[in-house]
Chain A
């Protein structure tokens, strides 16, 4: 039973688990809710493991397919399936959920059950996004995932949380509503089907493709986020609680990039080629300009948020240079960024829990009082800067390689990230971690406890493991990327 419905379990187990967590949770005694949430998250991760183990890397078609009619009036079906690209994100998402539950273990004191449940529900919904092969199912999960995040930012966030939560919700909704119209148009064009795979094969004239591409672009560019619609992200990151920032950076930003792969590129391949110049330009602006913006930030979370935008610029760049190494590099970068940015936010969270400040100026010489923590922080910072042997290097290197192959100057500008990324990350680390103890607060810091060591350690293993031996990731995606690129190259005209 479980084996045939692994994807359904990966979606609904966390969601129903969350309802149980809500039912057992009470404000006076939050312990059962915490433990139960952790168990649900672990179980949710366990059911995704067979997806990886049983995945046939030689096939580029969808696997673990589940199909059932849902709304027959509109031919909407409950159609799930994963290819070599989406399966990795389901695993990443379920894994990150465990980490955020651990990260919020003691830190969250008010309404613990609701906090944990919100993350579990979001985890299930986001698995749904990655697993949907029916466009309406995708859309429904895509929009529904806004609700828990809105509440997480607004209810457990910082002082300016309401503004950030509204901005997050309305920005994303604005994009996705245009996408809805594009989906309706495709439904009618395809003669009444919401099946994404049918749409992949649907012949469309170039002007229709361009309009569709632009409608999708609005939705996904907001989510990625691409310059110039990125302004919600620094606000959301700064105000969200640590767990919220981690999920935002690790998974939610990937939804936009994933949308390009699942919708824009295969449905409008000719438009993708026609507009690739614009996409590359926008990506390079994100890499270079946002890199400079990150350099001047005084707030650590804001700095990492801008660094995320720059890194995601790399991802979109990798997609639109249309070669294998570029696209695989982009996908590796997405997963690596999931680990690295998540870990960076966890580190800031660890410091924030002790000092209640995210300002770089309030810190200095943390290494003297928190040596273990400093080791982790420096490692993740190095990965963020793209140091070889960390996961950050693999993706960046591949994308730069692909970009040089495509056009020397594109590669040149993309490569500036190696300098800029190193500059803003390492300069922050220098000011926060190294040097003499800056003030009494820093002097009183206590080093990380066992729980914090656990989740930072696991993240460190992932970052190093992926950096040293990325093949378990690239092997899985290889056939699917190959198939996608051939499809895009063939075009529809």
Chain B
């Protein structure tokens, strides 16, 4: 038997992370509770190491390895760096929260690392199997993380719900992939694209498979009507885990969507654009309307996520119009920019909940933010900026994110869609404004001083300021999105 040694170099970061995860796993056995901080530190160091390796191995070329199952391109490198960064920020935010609840065990860090590995594999996948592998690694880690607080009935229920629905979605995705395999005879994304391009695939089978693939993706992105898990999981999970679910995995899900739909099934763009358009409109409408009725901030942000993913889809559906493909680059980079901006805002918003939480108290109700301006004008201003940014008010990053997807939509002549989108963003503005109202116009109920580690305070401040800074100077991230996509298509 002939065994060809694959090129491991493009996957060096993944391999390093896996090795470090094993080291941490073993180390966790010998450390006492007092020495647990080493694990946290080592996890952070692993992420930094991954970032260094990713930067050093970045060639700027599209490099395929492991028999074309794994791809390393600038798009993947950029998204991976963002994933490391947001996971690292998440770990800083959640350190104090977990310690107070006795959840800062080795498992947490390990599961986070494995989830990160899953995301990296998803981002770099160029094969249906690799995508599925990464997705399951991420999902299984997340199911376990949601149930991390095992004595909490709500968390366990959320994890159960997440698992059952998640498994079903994975099934849908797999079924769709098998259809595509049946039609094209290959599992490689590039091969699928080739087969469809040359017209050797049966169109009916393809579209049939596409429906299932889109359903599976929609579940992972959490868009209507596959959104049912989001509010319950966001609310039920420990806030630190909610923060995790609400940030980096969105980047991975975006990458997966782009790899499958754009890299693999671009020839079917007219078909999946129509499907995604319906999902987008429904998500924007339902997400924004349902968020108004919430009194729990985590649940409100969950519905807000649904609507934000809907806006992101608006970018994805504007790539091809009447067979004309020159919109593609701008449209997809606007969707990517939207995702990156959303992750930045989401990190900050859940970080604020963690900041106000303390032993035995979750600051997860809207009323817990009452009078925050009296307790801490600085963090009230940070939260205010985050909320205005999510509402899409300038000068914050959320505005230019909405701007770029709306421009992509109008560019393809779908003005009515833009009108629908802005109409619901007006409704959305109401519930973000309500948070600002609670902080600035109301008297504080909770007057306990805000206690948090210095690193968290600094990072959260930096996060809030970044939302303003990248809102005033959005050029850098926009260009990076366009550039990395251009070099990877």
Q: Does A73 contact B (CB under 8 A)?
A: yes
In the bound complex, do residue A180 and residue B429 qualify as a contact, i.e. CB atoms below 8 Å apart? no
Closest A residue to B395 by beta carbon equals A144
Do the beta carbons of A151 and B410 come within 8 Å of each other?
A: no
Does B277 belong to the interface (CB within 8 Å)? no
Does A418 have its Cβ within 8 Å of any Cβ on chain B?
no
A136, A161, A170: which contacts B441 (Cβ < 8 A)? A161
Given contacts A71-B475, A181-B419, contact A146 B393 (CB under 8 A): yes
Number of residues on chain B facing chain A (CB within 8 A): 33
Determine whether A216 belongs to the interface, using a CB cutoff of 8 Å to chain B.
no
Bound: A170/B429 CA distance, A: 8
Note all chain B residues with C-beta closer than 8 A to A146.
393
Q: Do A187 and B474 touch across chains, with their CB atoms under 8 A apart?
A: no
Nearest-CB residue, chain B, relative to A71: B475
- For window 371-418 of B, CB contacts with A under 8 Å fall at 373, 377, 388, 393-395, 399-400, 403-404, 406-407, 410-411, 415, 418
Q: Which residues of B contact A180 (CB under 8 A)?
A: 403, 406, 422
Question: Is residue B126 within 8 Å, beta carbon to beta carbon, of the partner chain?
Answer: no
Query: Which chain B residue has the least Cβ–Cβ distance from A151?
Result: B440
Query: Does any Cβ of A come within 8 Å of B479's Cβ?
Result: yes
Interface presence of A389 (CB below 8 A): no
Min C-beta distance of A138 to chain B, whole Å: 11
| Contact indicator per residue, chain A 345-385, by CB within 8 Å of chain B (1) or not (0) | 00000000000000000000000000000000000000000
Quick check: is B461 within 8 A (CB to CB) of the other chain?
Answer: no
Contacts A72-B475, A173-B429, A184-B407: A154 and B399 contacting too (C-beta < 8 A)? no
B478 interfacial contact with A, CB 8 Å: yes
A71→B400 contact, CB < 8 A:
yes
Check B288 for interface membership: any CB of A closer than 8 A.
no
B441–A143 contact, CB under 8 A?
no
Q: Is the CB of B411 within 8 A of A188?
A: yes
- Least Cβ distance of B471 to chain A in Å? 9
CB of B16 closer than 8 Å to a CB of A = no
Contacts of B395 in A (CB 8 A): 140, 144
A154 touches B441 (CB 8 A): yes
B82 CB, nearest partner CB in chain A, Å: 19
Contact indicator B399/A140 (Cβ below 8 Å): yes
Contact A184 B406 (CB under 8 A): yes
B419 neighbours in A (Cβ, 8 Å): 178, 181
Q: Does A469 contact B (CB under 8 A)?
A: no
A471 at the interface (CB under 8 A from B): no
Give the residue of B373, B406, B410, B429 whose beta carbon is less than 8 angstroms from that of A169.
Answer: B429
B154-172 contacts to A, CB under 8 A, are none
What is the total number of residues of chain A having a CB less than 8 Å from a CB of chain B?
A: 36
B430 touches A166 (CB 8 A): yes
Contacts A73-B478, A155-B441 hold; do A181 and B436 have CB atoms under 8 A apart? no
- Residue contact B437 to A73, C-beta cutoff 8 Å: no
Q: Let me know if B294 is at the binding interface, CB within 8 A.
A: no
Task: Provide the B78-120 mask, 1 if CB < 8 A to any CB of A, else 0.
Answer: 0000000000000000000000000000000000000000000
Are A150 and B415 in contact, with the CB atoms below 8 A?
A: no
A141: B residues at CB distance < 8 A: 394
Q: Which of A22, A71, A166, A185 has the most CB of B within 10 A?
A: A71
Q: A25 → chain B, closest Cβ, in Å?
A: 9
Instruction: For residue A35, give the distance in angstroms from its CB to the closest CB of chain B.
Output: 20
State whether B437 touches A165 (Cβ < 8 A).
yes
Q: Is the CB of A155 within 8 A of B440?
A: yes
Asked if B445 is an interface residue, CB under 8 A from chain A, the answer is no
Among A71, A151, A173, contact of B426 (Cβ-Cβ < 8 Å): A173
Q: Does B186 contact A (CB under 8 A)?
A: no
Whether, in the assembled complex, A434 has its beta carbon less than 8 Å from a beta carbon of chain B, the answer is no
Nearest-neighbour CB distance to chain A for B438, whole angstroms, equals: 10
Quick one: closest A residue to B409, CB to CB?
Answer: A184
The A-contacting residues of B in range 424-447, CB under 8 angstroms, are: 425-426, 429-430, 433, 436-437, 440-441
**CB-defined contacts of A161 to chain B, threshold 8 Å:** 441
Chain B residues closer than 8 Å to A154, beta-carbon distance: 437, 440-441
Task: Select one of A71, A151, A178 contacting B436, CB under 8 A.
Answer: A151
**B65 contacts chain A at the CB level, 8 A cutoff:** no
A73 touches B482 (CB 8 A): yes
Residues of B within 8 A of A72 (CB): 475, 479
Closest A residue to B422 by beta carbon equals: A177
Indicate whether A445 reaches chain B with its CB closer than 8 angstroms: no
CA distance A140 to B436 in the complex (A): 20
Are the CB atoms of A147 and B388 closer together than 8 Å? yes
Asked if A281 is at the interface of the complex by the 8 Å CB criterion, the answer is: no
B404 to chain A minimum Cβ distance, whole angstroms, is 8
Q: A71-B400, A150-B433 are in contact. Are A170 and B426 (CB under 8 A)?
A: yes
Query: CB-nearest residue of chain A relative to B333?
Result: A73
In the assembled complex, the CB of A170 is this many whole angstroms from the nearest CB of chain B, namely: 6
Shortest CB-to-CB span from B287 to chain A, Å, is: 17
By a CB distance below 8 angstroms, the chain A residues around B407 are 74, 184, 187-188
Interface 1/0 per residue, A243-271 and B, CB below 8 Å? 00000000000000000000000000000
Residues of A within 8 A of B436 (CB): 150-151
| Bound complex: CA A180 to CA B429 (Å) | 16
Cα–Cα distance between A154 and B442 once the two chains are bound (Å): 9
Query: Which residues in chain A, 54-105, are within 8 Å of chain B measured between CB atoms?
Result: 70-74
A184 touches B475 (CB 8 A): no
A 411-427 binary contact with B (CB < 8 Å = 1; else 0):
00000000000000000
- Closest A residue by C-beta to B430: A170
| Chain A residues in 8 Å Cβ range of B474 | 71
Return 28 A-B CB contacts under 8 Å, by A number.
Answer: A70-B475, A71-B400, A71-B474, A71-B478, A73-B478, A73-B482, A74-B404, A114-B373, A139-B394, A140-B394, A143-B399, A146-B393, A147-B393, A150-B436, A154-B441, A155-B440, A165-B437, A165-B441, A169-B433, A170-B426, A170-B433, A177-B423, A177-B425, A184-B406, A184-B418, A187-B407, A188-B407, A188-B410
Given contacts A140-B399, A184-B407, 5 further A-B contacts (CB under 8 A): A22-B377, A147-B393, A170-B426, A170-B430, A188-B411
Report which B residues bind A (CB closer than 8 A).
Answer: 373, 377, 388, 393-395, 399-400, 403-404, 406-407, 410-411, 415, 418-419, 422-423, 425-426, 429-430, 433, 436-437, 440-441, 474-475, 478-479, 482
* 4 residue pairs, one from A and one from B, having the closest CB atoms: A177-B422, A140-B394, A154-B441, A184-B410
